[in-house]
Amino acid sequence: MKKIQIAIDGPAGSGKSTVAKEIANRLNILYLDTGAMYRAVTYIVLSRGQSAQDSEVLKNVVDQIEMELTPNHVFVNGKDISDAIRTPNVSQNVSFVAMDAYVREKMVELQKKIAGDQSVVMDGRDIATHVLPDADFKFFLVASSEERAKRRQSELSQKGYDIPLETLIDEIDKRDKLDSEREVSPLRQADDAIRVDTTKMTIEEVIGFILERIDSEFL
Ligand code: DC
C-alpha cells in the first residue's frame, strides 16, 4: 500500500475519534489522537494544583514532561494517564491549554514527528489546516450541539458520570467558541476538506462514507 495520510478534524463530539480509530484499524495504519495530547498537558497541570490559564505554568510543564502515545494510550513520564485525561474537569480546562501558542508549537512538533513518513489517520482541530496540510484526504466532521451532547452524555454515563444534557450542551457550545475563536490555529474547515454532517448518521455510515472517498490506489 502506498503511504496515505488522512486528517479528520471537527468539534468535540462530532464522532472524529471513534471514526478515525476504526478507519486506521481497517487500513492497518497508525492512529493518532491529538486531542489526547492537549488533555494530557491539562491533566498534569491540574494534578499539580496549578492553573491551566497560566502560560508560565504551561511552559514549565510542557518542557518537563516526556509524552508517549500509542493508539489507545497516553503515557506521561512513563505513567499511563489514558483514563485520567477523560474526566469532566480536564474537559472543562483543556481549551485554555489548547489556546497557548507554546503548548501548540510543541504538540504540533511531536505530532509531525510521530506521523513522520508513515501512513497515519490523525484527528484533531487543526490537522488539515496546520499539522498535515499536505494530507491525501481531509475530512471535517460536524453535528448539532444537541446530538454531540447526547453522545458525550452516553460516553460519560458508561464511566459513571451522570451529567444533565443541558449542562453538556452548554459546555460543548463554550468549548466550540473557545476553539474556533482562539488566535493560534483555530478550529476551521480547510478549504480542501470534505464536510460530513454526522448528526443523523451512524458511526458505520460515516466510516463507509470516508472509505468510499479514499482512492482505490491507496487500498
Ligand atoms: O478532541 P478532544 O475533545 O479530545 O480535544 C480536547 C481539546 O483539545 C479541545 O478543546 C480542542 C483541543 N484540540 C486542539 O486544539 N487541537 C487539536 N489538534 C486537538 C484538540
Higher-confidence residue of 216 and 45: namely 45
The span from the CA of 138 to the CA of 129, in Å, is: 9
| pLDDT tier for residue 71 given thresholds of 50, 70 and 90 | confident
Q: How confident is residue 179, by pLDDT bands cut at 50, 70 and 90?
A: confident
39 Cα: distance to centroid of ligand 1 (angstroms): 8
Query: Hey, what's the cell of 5?
Result: 495520510
Measured from the Cα of 178, ligand 1's closest atom is 10
Determine whether the shortest distance from the Cβ of 94 to ligand 1 is under 6 A: yes
Residue nearest atom 1 of ligand 1, based on CA coordinates: 35
Q: Measure CA 171 to chain center.
A: 16
Q: Tens of pLDDT along 145-177?
A: 999 999 999 988 998 989 999 999 999 999 899
Query: What's the average model confidence in pLDDT over 108-123?
Result: 93
Report which secondary-structure segment, H or E, holds 70. Answer: strand 67-70
Listed residue (210, 150, 213) closest to 25, CA to CA = 210
Q: Percent helix, strand and coil across the chain, each rounded to 5?
A: 55, 15, 30
| CA-based nearest residue to 8, from 21, 157, 111 | 21
Q: Ligand 1 pocket test: which of 9, 34, 185 has the largest number of ligand atoms within 8 Å of its C-beta?
A: 34
**How confident is the prediction for the chain on average, in pLDDT?**
93
Q: pLDDT tens digits for 124-152?
A: 999 999 999 999 999 999 999 999 999 99
> Count of CB atoms within 10 A of residue 177's CB?
12
Q: Are 123 and 16 in contact (CB under 8 A)?
A: yes
For cell 509531525, what's the residue?
112
Of the chain, the percentage scoring pLDDT greater than 90 comes to 81
Domain boundaries, the chain: 5-204
How far does residue 124's CA lie from ligand 1's centre (Å)?
Answer: 6
Burial 11-25 (b: 16+ CB within 10 A, else e): bbbbbbbebbbbbbe
Q: Considering only the top CATH level, what class is 5-204?
A: alpha beta
Global pTM reads 0.92
11 lines ligand 1 (CB under 6 A): no
Confidence bin at 201 (pLDDT 50/70/90) = very high
Place of cell 483543556: 94
Set of cell numbers at residue 210: 470516508
Helices marked H in 48-198 — which ranges?
A: 55-64, 88-98, 101-115, 145-158, 165-181
Compute how many other C-beta atoms are within 10 angstroms of the C-beta atom of residue 205.
12
The 10s digit of each residue's pLDDT in 81-109 is: 999 999 989 988 999 999 999 999 999 99
Taking CA atoms only, the protein residue closest to ligand 1 atom 6 is 35
Any atom of ligand 1 within 6 Å of the Cβ of 152: no
Q: In angstroms, what is the span from residue 90 Cα to ligand 1's centroid? A: 11
Q: Is 188 exposed, middle or buried (0-12, 13-18, 19+ CB in 10 A)?
A: middle
Sheet holding 30-33, edge to edge: 30-33, 120-124, 5-9, 137-142, 194-197
Whether the predicted pLDDT of 219 surpasses 70: no
